[in-house]
């Protein structure tokens, strides 16, 4: 048997101390989230019903449901994803696989990181100037979704680039030695082995896109619009703006309605993220390395 020395006992105590410390830090992150979810379920659960989910708001938004806002949120998130994901992935492929390592590339990478920290209200003003006025889209789903795409694109670029760079370089060299072009290597080897990381960026984008209020408030979301949009050039209601309105701007709203709207918004985000996470786990299970 090994003799337990004083140094071993000290290392064991230090290890146990750090284990407890990290556990407490984890609990400090998880417990508030669980409390918030429990409060939303407790306060907003009574408001959830088929009428609440599938009917239009009535009586000055003090009664009725949230169906136009629910559909509008799906519109905004879907169009933003269709715009930002292809452009973000293409940009990350260029920066990771094609761009030379020089001062210009490093400057672009720094600009992308800084862009992720720009306040959303600044993106809102940019969206008004660029998409609503300059491009002439007006206050519409398209203008709001493009603003959200610009807002969240740095997340997609950074997540995709990190995922591409995590693929071993030996994979690329093996393909090149067999005569494959750079694009064939990216398409057949690099992208399939990095798709799970790309989906991580998409998950983060969905969460932020669905919850943003300022960018859509000025570019396409309506205060009250009790009908469904017919296309991307229409205005629409959105759950995040609707939550702000019924919480602060409309008198006489039952107390459970704002909590019910928040609960539906979180449930929608969790549902979208769950699909992406399930697909990501499926792809990870097919990896050969």
Q: Is 153 found in the same domain as 103?
A: yes
Q: Is 229 found in the same domain as 176?
A: yes
Q: In this predicted model, what pLDDT tens digit does every residue of 52-107 receive, in sequence order?
A: 999 988 888 888 889 999 999 999 999 999 999 999 999 999 998 888 888 888 88
Whether 1 has a pLDDT exceeding 50, the answer reads no
Q: CB–CB of 242/211 below 8 Å?
A: no
Residues 6+ apart with CB under 8 A from 175: 184, 185, 188, 189
Average pLDDT, the chain: 87
Q: Is 55 found in the same domain as 40?
A: no
Q: Is 232 found in the same domain as 146?
A: yes
Out of 10-14, 130-134, 192-196, the most confident range is 130-134
Q: How many domains does the chain have?
A: 2
Taking the model in full, what pTM does it have? 0.86
Residue 117 resides in a domain: yes
Closest by CA position to 151, among listed 218, 56, 67: 218
Q: Is 182 found in the same domain as 207?
A: yes
Residues 6+ apart with CB under 8 A from 44: 256, 258, 259, 260, 261, 262, 263
Q: Is 138 found in the same domain as 29?
A: no
Q: What is the pLDDT of residue 289?
A: 55
| DSSP β-bridge partners for residue 57 | 64
Q: Is 157 found in the same domain as 14?
A: no
Distance (Å, rounded) from C-alpha 130 to C-alpha 187?
Answer: 33
Residue 1 resides in a domain: no
Q: In this predicted model, what pLDDT tens digit does every residue of 221-273 receive, in sequence order?
A: 888 888 888 889 999 999 999 999 988 888 888 888 999 999 999 998 888 88
Q: Is 118 found in the same domain as 251?
A: yes
Residue 234 resides in a domain: yes
Distance (Å, rounded) from C-alpha 95 to C-alpha 112?
Answer: 11
Q: Is 127 found in the same domain as 74?
A: yes
């Amino acid at each position: 048997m090994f003799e337990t020395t004083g140094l071993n006992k000290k290392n064991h105590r230090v290890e146990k101390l750090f284990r407890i410390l990290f556990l407490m830090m984890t609990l400090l992150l998880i417990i508030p989230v669980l409390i918030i979810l429990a409060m939303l379920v407790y306060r907003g659960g009574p408001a959830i019903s088929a009428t609440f989910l599938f009917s239009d708001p009535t009586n000055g938004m003090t009664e009725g449901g949230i169906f136009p806002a629910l559909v509008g949120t799906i519109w905004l998130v879907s169009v933003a994803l269709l715009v930002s994901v292809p452009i973000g992935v293409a940009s990350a492929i260029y920066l990771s696989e094609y761009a030379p390592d020089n001062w210009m590339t490093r400057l672009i990478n720094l600009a992308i990181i800084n862009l992720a920290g720009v306040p959303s209200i600044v993106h809102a003003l940019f969206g008004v100037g660029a998409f609503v006025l300059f491009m002439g889209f007006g206050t519409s789903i398209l203008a709001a979704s493009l603003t959200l795409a610009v807002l969240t694109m740095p997340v997609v670029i950074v997540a995709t680039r990190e995922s591409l760079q995590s693929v071993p370089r030996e994979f690329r060299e093996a393909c090149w030695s067999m005569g494959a072009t750079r694009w064939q290597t990216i398409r057949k080897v690099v992208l399939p082995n990095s798709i799970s990381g790309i989906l991580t960026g998409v998950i983060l984008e969905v969460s932020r896109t669905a919850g943003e209020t300022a960018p859509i408030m000025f570019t396409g979301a309506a205060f009250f619009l009790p009908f469904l949009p017919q296309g991307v050039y229409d205005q629409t209601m959105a759950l995040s703006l609707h939550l702000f309105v019924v919480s602060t701007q409309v008198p006489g709203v039952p107390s459970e309605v704002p909590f019910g709207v928040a609960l539906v918004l979180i449930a929608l985000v969790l549902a979208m993220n769950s699909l992406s996470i399930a697909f990501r786990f499926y792809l990870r299970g097919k990896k050969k390395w």
